[in-house]
Amino acid sequence: MERMKMLEWVQALCFVVVDMELYLDTHPCDEEALAFYRDSVENYEKAKRKFEEMYGPLTAVKSMDCERWAWADVPLPWEGVR
């Protein structure tokens, strides 16, 4: 399923950002890590934007771009794919 594959990609890129944030919390002066963090955020934002254009908003505020309240139609993440 295409949506699931693309969501997994967004999840993976988001994970890099989250993990790097914890690393930088305790290594705030690591410049190499900071540069990697910037790239990670950029990659994540790009993938998220693409996903949202195709499959609808991941955050409520992104429903602003839709004509109706699309937030209500987005699948609930805990239901999984069966």
Q: What residues make contact with another protein under the rule CB under 8 A? A: 4, 7-8, 10-11, 14-15, 18-19, 21-23, 25-28, 57-61, 71, 74-82
Minimum CB separation from another protein for residue 39, in Å? 20
Minimum CB separation from another protein for residue 67, in Å? 19
DSSP H helices in 1-82: 2-26, 31-55
Minimum CB separation from another protein for residue 35, in Å? 20
CA angle 9, 11, 17 (to 5 degrees): 110
Alpha carbon dihedral 65, 68, 73, 74, in 10-degree steps, equals 10
